[in-house]
Amino acid sequence: MIVRVVFNQKGGVGKSSIAVNLAALSAHSGLRTLLVDLDPQCNASQYLLGEKAGSGHKEALEPNIKDFFDDQLGQGASNSGAKSLIGSALGSLLKTEERGLDTVVHPTKFERLSIIPGSPELGAIEHALQSKHKIYKLRDQLKSLSGRFDRVYIDTPPAFNFYTLSALIAADRVVIPFDCDVFSKRALETLLQNVVEARQDHNSSLTVEGIVINQFQPRANLPQKVVAELEADGLPVFEAKLGSSVIMKESHHQCQPLIHLDPKHKLSEQYQALFQEMEK
């Protein structure tokens, strides 16, 4: 099982779209694939499951990744005031079995593609998870799914926080979406420093698989210049680059990854080239 985390602290770089489309391609190629949505915005969940996965339809998200993390805190631990401190502690001690990550896995309408939905309430329990040192729980539980899935893609929030670090600890490889502007290049240095620290402190096998150039305009001077600078710095830039197209919005609207919506479209073919480059 290979676990990839799609990570960028900068928002608006196409992180969720890339995570979903790569996961869909993985499943389409015959690999048993799981997508984990750690972003409270739940964009990846809505992409695959539709508007029912939005914050206005919380019941459709359950059980979700928050239910898994809730259980790691102990029954009722995230429900402030529900139990006394002693009661919560006793409840945790008396529990015979914790909720496994497998209990929050949902099938999708796409063959071999499953999802662990996100939750807009993840922020409410982040401090408790961090203070109780639950940073390795996701990694440990993903390992237990190795016989069930061949590939795992983790979509992360646009921030370096508990959930992002949990994903980096759980992952084998980091995929970095990058749009060609000055702000993205400045943010990339901080991002890579965080990845290096996660590797040094928590996950010695973590590698940066590559930088995905998104919204690429091959005829414009600035994108070509920025990409050349990244390559000159020795950074691993994927050869396959993703352009921009209105079909991506249509893909979101219809909840159909590009390989299912229009596999012959230029952007679909670019995604296929990227996936093949990653899997070669």
For the stretch 162-194, pLDDT in tens is 999 999 999 999 999 998 776 778 889 999 999
Helix (H, G, I), strand (E, B) or coil at 2: strand
Residues of the chain with pLDDT under 70: 52-60, 75-99, 182
- Count of domains for the chain: 1
* Residue in 193, 108, 176, 143 with CA at minimum distance from that of residue 3: 143
Q: What does the pLDDT read at residue 80?
A: 43
Closest CA to 12 of 171, 178, 153, 125: 178
Do the Cβ atoms of 121 and 78 come closer than 8 Å? Answer: no
Cβ atoms of 43 and 35 closer than 8 Å = no
């000159």: which residue's tokens? 232
Q: Model-level pTM greater than 0.75?
A: yes
Q: Which helix (H) or strand (E) holds 151?
A: strand 151-155
H helices of the chain, in order, are: 15-28, 43-49, 65-73, 85-94, 122-131, 137-143, 162-170, 182-201, 221-232, 247-254, 258-261, 266-279
Other Cβ atoms less than 10 A from the Cβ of 90: the count is 14
Considering only CA atoms, which of 117, 118, 73, 80 is closest in space to residue 99? Answer: 73
What is the residue range of 7's domain?
2-279
Give yes or no for a cis peptide into 63 (omega within 30° of 0). Answer: yes
- Residue 81: the pLDDT is 43
DSSP β-bridge partners for residue 154: 5, 36
pLDDT of residue 60: 53
> Residue 71 maps to which CATH number?
3.40.50.300
- Length of the chain counted residue by residue: 280
